[in-house]
Each structure stands twice: as structure tokens, then as C-alpha cells.
A and B are shown apart, each in its own frame.
Chain A
């Protein structure tokens, strides 16, 4: 199925799918196309964020939208992340559907009071009488010395908060489809993108469509090891699977796509088949999404595990700047190969 695959090389996509009449666009273009169609279809939707209307357009994902829809619906804002999150919540309470956009996920800690104490709790606290249809897009940065305050991946912080949904699309197809679902959902949605996915190409239908929130997907079927990969790690996992295939190890890659609610059943069914679990996340190790997945498997399918669970993460340090240190910091497909091999051979 073309939408389960991601192509790091557009030429590869073109040779494979253009012949079949399938359209390939980048992750960046998929997000932009979704926003365009959503703005066009629903007057209640508006975008807000620092620099959403500037020529760069949030790494190209909002480029040209202010010209088309005007600066009120594609609204540049003061650098006041927490207050403006509150403004977005207020607008959502009043029936609008704001999409608040942050170029870096590192800016979300500025908004924690409004996200955690307000948006996440509003529906529950009001006895179900009020809801907050708010989408918060943020982008995980990586590389080029971005360092400790411009490359954090903080999905685990939000995983811990009841009332938030946390979405991490890994392909252009999912980016567009999940964005449609997020805007229609009616709850506060943390929509987390990865900067390194922006240039990758995949099959994306032109017409609007939804990918359901809470449904994971098997990106590669295999019998030996369950490899759960999140966001950009699905690219590294796909590379690793090819290497491992040559070693005779058949990897099943699962992309949860949504961290909350998590498609736990999909992971557990896979582990029951393979008996092994490796988890690759784009964030630090301790208290991360991988820890939660490992725990759920331990709770529900521990007797099926034939070897110790392995996690591939960033180390528990802030992100360094130097390219020499970044090389140590960021795990790649080699790290996944090593972890899977250890799971199969060492377990």
C-alpha cells in the first residue's frame, strides 16, 4: 500500500508510483495542502502563530496561506506563547477552531499552564458542558547545531496529561489525514511534526480525507521482532529493516501515529506474534513514550516476550550543538540494527 511507505528520495517515489498515476508530495506540502483545504471548507478555522504569514511560512507549511485567506485567518501574533494559548482556548470555547502553530516544540513549555491546567481539563471540569476544539501544531527540530532549546521532543510530557490527544504523523499521507481529523475532533490536540520529515515524499490524495486518531499502522509485516517506531524514527526503522532482512531477521514495523490515545492492541497483537519488542522514539529515554509502551506490553503480554525489551532513544542529556556531539547524540538505523540484533540473538 503506497500510503504506508515514505520515500526519502523523490525520484524513487516517481519511478515506483507515478506510473500508476499516484501523486507524490512532500510532508511540508501535505501539511500546507491540508491547511488550505481546511481553511477553505470551514470559516471557523483560523491559524495563529509567530511568523505564520512571513515569507518562510513555518518551514513552508503555511506559505501563501495569508495571501489567500487574509491576515485575520492566518494571524501573526505577539511573542506571548502562554497568553496566546489562552486566547486560542477562549476562541475555541466560543465555537471557533483555532490552529496554533509553533515553529519549535521547545516553545510549548511556555504554554504549559494554558495547555495543561486549562485546555486539557476544561471539558471534564465543566461536567462536559464546554469543550475546546484546539489544534496545537509544533515541530521537532534537529541538527545544524540547533542545540538544547531548539530541538526538543516533548511528547512524553503531554502523554502524561489526561484530556490531551497527542498525534505524531510520520508520513505525508498521515500528516494530511491526521490534520483533518484533529480539526474535526473537538478536543485539544497536540499535533507534533518532525522537521526532518518535511522534505520526504509520499503518496497523498488531492481530495480531503481523514486518518483516524488512535489507530496505529503496520508499516512492514514481519515475524521475528516488533519494532515500534515514532515520527522520524520510522525512516530509520525502514532502513534498519532492509539491513536486518539480509541478516535473516524479519522485522515488523509498527507506527502508532497517535501517542494518546495509543493503539495498544495493535502493538500487543504484534508482540504476541513475534515475541520481541524494540521501541524507537525521537526523544530522551527516561519517562518517555517507549517506557509507556514497554509497560503496557509487560502488563498485558509479558508471557509472550522471549527477550528483554530494547529502547532506542536520545540519551538523557540536553541536546548538544557541535556536529561531533550530535553524531553521538542522535541514534540512527545502525542503532536500531544493533538493538534488534541484540533482541534476537542476545535475548
Chain B
């Protein structure tokens, strides 16, 4: 089996123009890019929130009272946060079955997410969606598809609506490398490029669709290059480098808001857990252990933490305080969610059809 993404440090050298040169260090990037300290701290806080939110799921999942298939994004947090930190609250985001990180990055409430995962009435979908169908309209997430690639054209559709109405809203579509296998990827990018729609396509390339490696599914793994076929910009990024993602996405969002059309961002990363559930999948031979080890050495949160400490933006005590604060927030959220009642039995028949407002 090819080691997926393990060589990506050296591959960074051939990245497209948005990427960082091979000799830059993270510290230089942080200081060169004029990102405000407050933004950097917020990016770290949100990444830690996502990580710890999902680690709590790992902790409680064994009890088997959270009866929803969880697709964890541990290891991929930099992309969700790097992209969403550029968005306004009413900008549209369409995500996937692996959506917890995107929801939290866009501003969803952890308690209502947990409540949904527990199947409770206070969940975002009143217990009708579970973990895979996040819907938080107040932060721009208007439903989530768990069909691979299914959400991509929906983001193009909201972008079409923005374009027709002349509003300023940008649409973002998150999807994985598996979605690039699908016909709807082509149909969506073709139409978005044709109509110059305000949409940003963010491919989280973690090199696997469940346990099928990209080498078994696509003729090359250079997903960013597919943008050429649609005559739109495409960039390959280190998806574990939150600052790089933040700046590249910033340019793509600006381009969309200026009505210059769509951009494809390929963010290379790695999912630490198995496709679904709380466990790592090297144990059952799905993926090689050394791949995971290599990527864990490049933990997106550790990379950013170290940089912020070295550049004097945060110190260890402040980071520890942040950890404590998030723990407290998430523990309360989890307890609140568990106290929420189940839906009424008659609710099974509710909301099949919209009946007007």
C-alpha cells in the first residue's frame, strides 16, 4: 500500500502559488501574514474546541447511549476553522457526514449538537437528523447531506440564488477526496465556473474513502489540478497548517464576494480515527500505523500552539487556561444534552411536508 500523504512535506515544494515556499518556517509565516493576534488565538481556540468536542464523544461512546454513527474529524480541524474564520454568519456552508468540525467552526452550539447526537428534542434537528444531517440555519448551515458529493451542488445552488439576487453571501462546500470520484463533483464545478458563482469548493483530501486509498480510485492524487479543466483557480494546501488554509481561503472568499467566481482548494490532511466510530482503524488493518504516526507528528493543533508560543502571542499558562475553559464548556454542554427529553412518539409523523410558516 502506498503511504498516503506521508511524503507531503516534500510535496509542498510543488504547491501552487498560494502555498508557502519550502524554506519558510511556521514562525515566519505567522509573522509575515499580518494576521491579528486575536484571530490567531480564536483559530486555536476553535480547533481545540473541535478536538475536545470529539474526544468527549470518544469518551462517552462506549456507553452506547449516543446512538448515532459518528464520523470524527480529529486531525482535520485546521481546515474547518481556517476556512470558516473568513466567513460571515449568514454565508452558506454545506458539509458532509463528517460535519462536527464545520458546524462548530461556523458557530453551532456544542450542547445542541450533543443533544442531536443523543436523539433529544433540543437537538438541532429535534432528533430527526443525528450526527450526519447538521442543520443550523442561523449560522448558514441549511441542512447536510450524508451522501458522498451530495452537498456540492446544493452550495452551487445557494450561490446561484445569491448571484440572482445580487446579495453578498458566499457559499462554501466542504467535501472529501471521495466526492471527487462522483459525477456530481464535475457537474457542480462545471456549472459554478460557467456562471462564475460565488462559491468556494474545499476538498479535504485525507487520501481515503472509508478504507479505499485514493490510488485505487483516481488516476492521480493532485485534486487541485482538476480546477484547470473548469478554468478556475485551484490550490493545493497543507491542510494541517491552519494559517495557510486561513489565508488561502481568505483569498478564495474575497474572490467569490467580488463576483470573480469559484475557487477549488485542496487541503491535504489525515483522519486520525476510522471512517466511522471512536476507534483508530490501523488495528483492523484498514490503514498502516506508520501513516497515522507520521501525520500525528504533524498535529495541526500542536503546530499552531508551538508557533503562538514561540512568537509570544500566547504562553503555556494561557493555553492551559483555554483547555480548562473549553473542558468546562463541553462538560456543561454534554450534561445539558443528556438532560434534554426525547421527542414525543407522535413526532415521527411530523415535518414530512412543509406546511407553511
A130 and B164 CA atoms in complex are apart in Å by 20
Q: Is the C-beta of B13 less than 8 angstroms from some C-beta in chain A?
A: no
Q: Considering only CB atoms, which chain B residue lies closest to A46 in the complex?
A: B164
Q: Considering only CB atoms, which chain A residue lies closest to B199 in the complex?
A: A90
Contact A88 B157 (CB under 8 A): yes
Segment among B3-11, B25-33, B55-63, B123-131 that sits at the interface with chain A? B123-131
Chain B nearest CB: distance from A49 CB in Å?
13
Q: Is the C-beta of A162 less than 8 angstroms from some C-beta in chain B?
A: yes
A107 and B355 CA atoms in complex are apart in Å by 29
Chain B nearest CB: distance from A167 CB in Å?
14
Q: Is the C-beta of B23 less than 8 angstroms from some C-beta in chain A?
A: no
Picked from A83, A126, A128, the residue with its CB within 8 Å of the CB of B191 is: A83
Q: Is the C-beta of A86 less than 8 angstroms from some C-beta in chain B?
A: yes
A27-46 CB mask vs B (1 if < 8 Å, else 0) is: 00000000000000000001
Chain A nearest CB: distance from B192 CB in Å?
9
Contact A90 B145 (CB under 8 A): no
Q: Is the C-beta of B161 less than 8 angstroms from some C-beta in chain A?
A: yes
Contact A89 B351 (CB under 8 A): no
Q: Is the C-beta of B188 less than 8 angstroms from some C-beta in chain A?
A: yes
Residues of B within 8 A of A86 (CB): 150, 152-154, 156-157, 184, 187-188
Greatest chain B CB density within 10 A among A91, A92, A96 is at: A91
B334-356 CB mask vs A (1 if < 8 Å, else 0) is: 00000000000000001111111
Contact A90 B351 (CB under 8 A): no
Picked from A72, A94, A125, A132, the residue with its CB within 8 Å of the CB of B158 is: A94
A82 and B124 CA atoms in complex are apart in Å by 28
Chain B contributes a number of interface residues (CB within 8 A of A) equal to: 46
**A126/B125 contact (C-beta < 8 A), A91-B158, A96-B164, A117-B147 known:** yes
A114 and B184 CA atoms in complex are apart in Å by 10
Chain A nearest CB: distance from B353 CB in Å?
5
Q: Is the C-beta of A123 less than 8 angstroms from some C-beta in chain B?
A: yes
Q: Is the C-beta of A314 less than 8 angstroms from some C-beta in chain B?
A: no
Residues of A within 8 A of B150 (CB): 86, 113-114, 117-118
Contact A83 B153 (CB under 8 A): yes
Contact A82 B128 (CB under 8 A): no
Picked from A83, A92, A122, A129, the residue with its CB within 8 Å of the CB of B188 is: A83
Q: Is the C-beta of A21 less than 8 angstroms from some C-beta in chain B?
A: no
Contact B191 A80 (CB under 8 A): yes
Contact B153 A123 (CB under 8 A): no
Chain A nearest CB: distance from B148 CB in Å?
10
Segment among B135-143, B282-290, B291-299 that sits at the interface with chain A? B135-143
A130 and B184 CA atoms in complex are apart in Å by 22
Contact A127 B351 (CB under 8 A): yes
Q: Is the C-beta of A85 less than 8 angstroms from some C-beta in chain B?
A: yes
Greatest chain B CB density within 10 A among A46, A95, A127 is at: A127
Q: Is the C-beta of A131 less than 8 angstroms from some C-beta in chain B?
A: yes
Q: Is the C-beta of A163 less than 8 angstroms from some C-beta in chain B?
A: yes
A11 and B127 CA atoms in complex are apart in Å by 59
**A127/B124 contact (C-beta < 8 A), A86-B152, A162-B352 known:** yes
**A91/B129 contact (C-beta < 8 A), A122-B143, A129-B135 known:** no
A86-104 CB mask vs B (1 if < 8 Å, else 0) is: 1111111111100000000
Chain A nearest CB: distance from B319 CB in Å?
36
Q: Is the C-beta of A59 less than 8 angstroms from some C-beta in chain B?
A: no
Q: Considering only CB atoms, which chain A residue lies closest to B356 in the complex?
A: A186
List residues 216-254 of chain B with CB under 8 A from any CB of chain A: none
Picked from B92, B143, B162, B188, the residue with its CB within 8 Å of the CB of A125 is: B143
Residues of B within 8 A of A128 (CB): 126, 128, 350-351, 354
List residues 148-180 of chain A with CB under 8 A from any CB of chain B: 162-163, 165
List residues 159-217 of chain B with CB under 8 A from any CB of chain A: 159-162, 164-165, 171, 183-184, 186-188, 190-191, 194
Residues of B within 8 A of A80 (CB): 186-187, 190-191
Q: Is the C-beta of A274 less than 8 angstroms from some C-beta in chain B?
A: no
Q: Is the C-beta of A325 less than 8 angstroms from some C-beta in chain B?
A: no
In the complex, how many residue pairs between chain A and chain B have their CB atoms under 8 Å apart? Answer: 152
Contact A90 B158 (CB under 8 A): yes
Nearest 5 Cβ contacts at the A-B interface:
A90-B157, A83-B187, A86-B153, A94-B161, A127-B125
Residues of A within 8 A of B165 (CB): 96
Q: Is the C-beta of A124 less than 8 angstroms from some C-beta in chain B?
A: yes
Contact B154 A125 (CB under 8 A): no
Contact B129 A127 (CB under 8 A): yes
Q: Is the C-beta of B133 less than 8 angstroms from some C-beta in chain A?
A: yes
Q: Is the C-beta of A84 less than 8 angstroms from some C-beta in chain B?
A: yes
**A131/B155 contact (C-beta < 8 A), A83-B187, A118-B147 known:** no
Chain B nearest CB: distance from A320 CB in Å?
30
A-B contacts besides A94-B92, A94-B162, A127-B127, 5 pairs, CB < 8 Å: A78-B194, A86-B152, A118-B145, A126-B128, A127-B135
Q: Is the C-beta of A77 less than 8 angstroms from some C-beta in chain B?
A: yes
Task: List, sorted by A's number, 25 A–B pairs whose CB atoms are closer than 8 Å.
Answer: A46-B164, A82-B153, A83-B187, A83-B190, A86-B156, A86-B184, A87-B191, A88-B157, A89-B157, A90-B156, A90-B159, A94-B161, A95-B161, A96-B160, A96-B164, A96-B165, A122-B143, A125-B129, A125-B133, A125-B135, A126-B133, A126-B143, A127-B127, A127-B128, A186-B356
A104-144 CB mask vs B (1 if < 8 Å, else 0) is: 00000000011001100011111111111100000000000
Residues of A within 8 A of B147 (CB): 113, 117-118
Contact B353 A123 (CB under 8 A): yes
A131 and B190 CA atoms in complex are apart in Å by 26
Contact A93 B158 (CB under 8 A): yes
Contact A129 B125 (CB under 8 A): yes
A96 and B161 CA atoms in complex are apart in Å by 7
